[in-house]
Structures are given as structure tokens and as C-alpha cells.
Structure 1
Amino acid sequence: MAQRNWLITGVNSGFGREMTEQLLARGDCVAGTVRNLAAMDDLKNRYGEQLRLSALDVTDTEAVRRVVNQAFADLGRIDVVVNNAGYGLFGAAEALTDAQIENQIGTNLTGSIQVARAAIPHLRAQGGGRILQLSTYGGQAAHAGASLYHASKWGIEGFMESLAQELAPFQIGVTIVEPGGARTGFRSTAGEHLGEELEAYNGTPAGMVHSVLRDNSRVPNGDPVKMVKAMIDSADLPNAPMRLVLGSDSYAAITNALTARLADVESQKFAAAKTDNPV
């Protein structure tokens, strides 16, 4: 397979780090963004110019444009743009601060939108490419205590599904990645971004999210190495699925959520028609 060039946000940990390592090992070039460049010293020392690094906070739109433009200028062509930067914010909606809400939406939703918008003119000019958007099964199913995280993921999924239709005429593909629980540092990072524990929510599903995240006995099933390989492999598929479901827990959660949602809608078939204007 020919060598490819990738732009990946948030390469210092989790899926972003694993993807960068797999791609570099097979000979691809990666333009990666991180908040702290020193976190990538080991890979930079090992791979040199095969790995191009830029410091970036995706909530800074002007910086996003500058970094994306520079990545395309440096590599000449970027085959796959991976929106990976993001994190989970958990806790009851009323227990979150305004700053927590703004940063969650700014990182997971607006940041991903702006990375895609900055890359699109370059992808069109080069005659095609692919955008991989990291989401979660939580972009299709919802749980109490994760309202803002779900808001960011449901929002980016709607954006990307519409964007896929806009970009199809330009041979630019879009894939939304729907991982289940994975053995990355996601849970520990999420534990650093919890809302306040309000007494009123003690014993409720939203209140229990705190104890769930603190419970180290809960080990996710997902293998990040296998998950990342599936993401990379999807870029080679001429007709990749719109949503790439990874993990049996993800499949179960999405299937259950969509089945319940469809049943709710179908039960209103005749009631919905009553609001039509008579012909």
C-alpha cells in the first residue's frame, strides 16, 4: 500500500497516540497536534520528519486554521484528517459550571467543526480525501449524568452526517467512529472533569456517575490497538460505513437506543399525519 499522509488532532494519548504509533510504524507520515509538545519527544526522536508536531488547543479557531494550513503546506497532500481531540465531561447538568460547559462544547463540537472547515478547501483542491470523526456510542445513545458530553457528540454527528452529503461530489468521504469502552486513559481523564456532587442527586442515575468513574474494577472490553487498526483500515474502504461501530457494547447500546427511538416514532404515525394541511 502506498504511503499516506495523516493529520490527527490530540496525538499525545488514547486513540490519537495509538493511531500515530501504528501509522508511523507502517511508514506513513503524521501531522499531529498536541497541547504539550514534550509529550511526544519519544516518537519525534524515533521518527524525525515522518512526524510533524504542532501545539494546538482546538478551541482557538485562528490557531486551528493556521495549523491545518501549515500541515497541508508541509506535507503537500493529506489523505486523511482525523478529528480525535476531545474529552468527557460528566455530572448532573445543573452541577456543571458555565466554563465547563463552554469548554466541552468548544473542544468536542466547535473544535471538530473548525478543523474540518479548515481542511475542506485543501481536500477539494487536491481532488479528494477522507475525514474521520471520533465520536462514541454516546453520540447515538444517552445516559444520565453525561448530558453535555452527549450534547457535544450528538451535535458533531449531525454536523458530520450533513457534511458527508455536502462533500460527496468532491470525492471526500466522512466516517464517524463509534467506539464503546476502551482500555485507554479516557476514564481517568473524565474523572478530572466532573461536575459538583449535589446532595439532591444522591442515589440517582446522574449522581452515580461519580462513583462509577471512581470504580477501578470496571475494566472496559475494548482493545484500543484493535480499534485503531479498524479505524485505519476503514480509510482504505471505497464505501466505508457512515458510522464505524467498534465494540460489542457499542453495538448493543446503539441498537437498543435506535430500536426504542424508532418504536416511539412509529407509534405516532397516524397522529403525526393529523397535522398535515388537507389536500
Structure 2
Amino acid sequence: MAERVWFITGVSVGFGRTLAEEVARNGDKVIGTVRQHGQLAEFNAISPGNTFAYLMDVTNPDGVKSTIEAAYNHFGRLDVLVNNAGFGFLGAVEEATIKDFREVMETNFFGALQVTQAVLPYMRKQGSGRIIQMSSVAGFRSTQGFGVYNASKFALEGVSEALAQEVAPLGIKVTIVEPGPFRTNFAGSSIKSAKLELPEYDSTARAFKNNILGYAGQQEGDPQKAAQVIWQVVNTDNPPLRLPLGTTAFTAVKNKLQQVAQDLENWETIAANTSYVS
């Protein structure tokens, strides 16, 4: 297989770093984006000649465009895009401010969207490409206390599902990855919380927050194994549109599908009968 060029956002820690290491170990080139100058040399040193750090903030449209243009001009192609940069947010919907919602959406949704739109012209020119959208099981199933994060990932999944249909005839394939709990820094430095805490949500949003923060470092998922699965997905001719990762994610997805199926069964005879009668 010819050497490919990957573009992965957010490689300083977590899934992004682990996946970049896996890709380099398998012989492909990895362009990884970081937000601090001090992280550049560290990433370049992972696999000299295979790992290349670029300074980029996914929320800066001009920076995104110029970085991707520079990367393409340097390597001559962009084969795999992984939109990984993002962060979590804990708090009830009522407790989160509109500013909180906008900040999470700006990174998790608009940031990924801007990077995707900037990469697509090069993939279209090549007539090939893979796009991996790092979503979450929270992008398929909502949870009390996680509504802000749910909103950002649901939006990413919605646009990605449409994108997959649009680019399929162009030789580009899209996969939405939906991890459950993994031992990354997600429940640590990569998560924020609403400042307001209303006692009415102690048994719902607060309980979920305490659970998330309480198991930091004890999650069931192994990021290395997840990276290996993503590598396999990129190397298959028929990748899935959605890929839950971990038993918790698979269980959550199956439970929601069962719930939706039950609602359809209970209400179809009433709610489907809404057409004009001629």
C-alpha cells in the first residue's frame, strides 16, 4: 500500500495523540495540529520523518485554510482527515449559558466543519479520501447533564451523514466514530462545567457530572485498541458510516434503537395518518 498522508486535529493528548502514534508506527505520514508552540517539537519527535506538527486553532477560519493549504503544498496530497479536536461540557441545559453553548459548538461542530470544508477541495481533486469524524456515543444518545455536548455532537453527526451521501460518488468516504468512556484526558483537562448549579438538578445533571468526574482514569476503554480499530476502518474498502467504540457505546446505541422502535410501534397508527384525504 502506498504511503498516505493523514491530517489529525488535536494531537497533543488523548485519542488524537494515540491515533497519530499508531498511524506513524504503521508507516504513514501524520500531520498533527496543536495549539501551543511548545507542543510542536514534542510531536515532531514522536517519529521523525513521519510526524509533522502544525500550529492551528480549529475555531480560526483563516488559520485553518492556510494551514491545510500549506500542508497540501508540502506533501502533495491529503488522504485521511480525522476531526478529533474538541472538549466536553457538563451541566443541565438550564444551567448552561448561551455563551457556553456557543463555545462548545464553535469547537466541536463549527471547528470540525471548517476543517472538513477546507480539506474537501483537495480530496475532490484527488478523487479519493477518507474523513473520520470523532463524535461520541453522546452524539447518538443524549444523557441528562450532557445536553450541551450532546448538541454539538448531534450536529456533527447530522452534517456528516449528509456529507457522506454527497461525497460518495467523488471517491470520498466518511465514518462517524462514537466512543464510549475511554482512558483519555476527556474527563480531566478536556471537560468544562456550567458555573451555575441548581439544586433541582442534583439527582440528574449533578449525579451524571459526579459520575463522569469520578471515574477519570478508570474508564473501560483502551485508547490504543481504539486507534487500531480506526486504522482498520481506514484500510477497509467498505467502512461503516457509524462506528461505536466499546461495550458501553454499543449497549447505549442498541438501547436507543429499541426505544425508537418502541415509540414507532406505539404511535404509528395514529401519527402516520396525517395525509390529506382525496
The TM tier, using the shorter chain, reads over 0.9
Q: Where do 1:100-111 residues align within 5 Å? A: 100-111=100-111
| Distance of 1:11 and 1:62 partners within structure 2 | 20
Deviations 1:143-183 (A, max 9, x none): 10010100001110010000000001101000000111101
The CA deviation at 1:189 is 2.3
The CA deviation at 1:132 is 0.4
Which residue of structure 2 lines up, in the alignment, with residue 222 of structure 1? Answer: 221
| Structure 1 residues 120 and 126: alpha-carbon distance in aligned structure 2, compared to 1, 3 A threshold | same
| Distance of 1:12 and 1:45 partners within structure 2 | 12
- Contiguous gaps of at least 5 residues in structure 1: none
Name the stretch that deviates more: 128-137 or 33-42: 33-42
Name the stretch that deviates more: 92-101 or 171-180: 92-101
Deviations 1:62-82 (A, max 9, x none): 211111122111111111011
**Aligned 8 A contact 1:201 1:207 in 2:** no
**Residue 36, structure 1, aligned to residue 36, structure 2:** yes
Which residue of structure 1 lines up, in the alignment, with residue 269 of structure 2? Answer: 270
**Aligned 8 A contact 2:41 2:53 in 1:** no
| Distance of 2:213 and 2:164 partners within structure 1 | 38
Name the stretch that deviates more: 28-37 or 230-239: 28-37
Say which SS state the counterpart of residue 24 (structure 1) adopts: helix
The CA deviation at 1:272 is 2.3
**Aligned 8 A contact 1:83 1:115 in 2:** yes
| Distance of 2:257 and 2:37 partners within structure 1 | 41
**Aligned 8 A contact 1:90 1:190 in 2:** no
Q: Where do 1:144-155 residues align within 5 Å? A: 144-155=144-155
| Distance of 2:216 and 2:17 partners within structure 1 | 24
**Aligned 8 A contact 2:86 2:107 in 1:** yes
Deviations 1:180-217 (A, max 9, x none): 110111111245x1112424235321122332233247
| Distance of 1:190 and 1:26 partners within structure 2 | 28
| Structure 1 residues 141 and 46: alpha-carbon distance in aligned structure 2, compared to 1, 3 A threshold | closer
| Distance of 2:258 and 2:40 partners within structure 1 | 43
**Residue 256, structure 1, aligned to residue 255, structure 2:** yes
Which residue of structure 2 lines up, in the alignment, with residue 247 of structure 1? Answer: 246
Q: Where do 1:58-77 residues align within 5 Å? A: 58-77=58-77
| Distance of 1:190 and 1:218 partners within structure 2 | 13
- Contiguous gaps of at least 5 residues in structure 2: none
Name the stretch that deviates more: 25-34 or 207-216: 207-216
Deviations 1:118-162 (A, max 9, x none): 111110101111100001111111110010100001110010000
The CA deviation at 1:40 is 4.3
Number of residue pairs the alignment of both structures matches: 278
**Aligned 8 A contact 2:137 2:249 in 1:** yes
Say which SS state the counterpart of residue 102 (structure 1) adopts: helix
Identity, % of aligned positions: 36
| Distance of 1:216 and 1:228 partners within structure 2 | 21
RMSD: 1.7
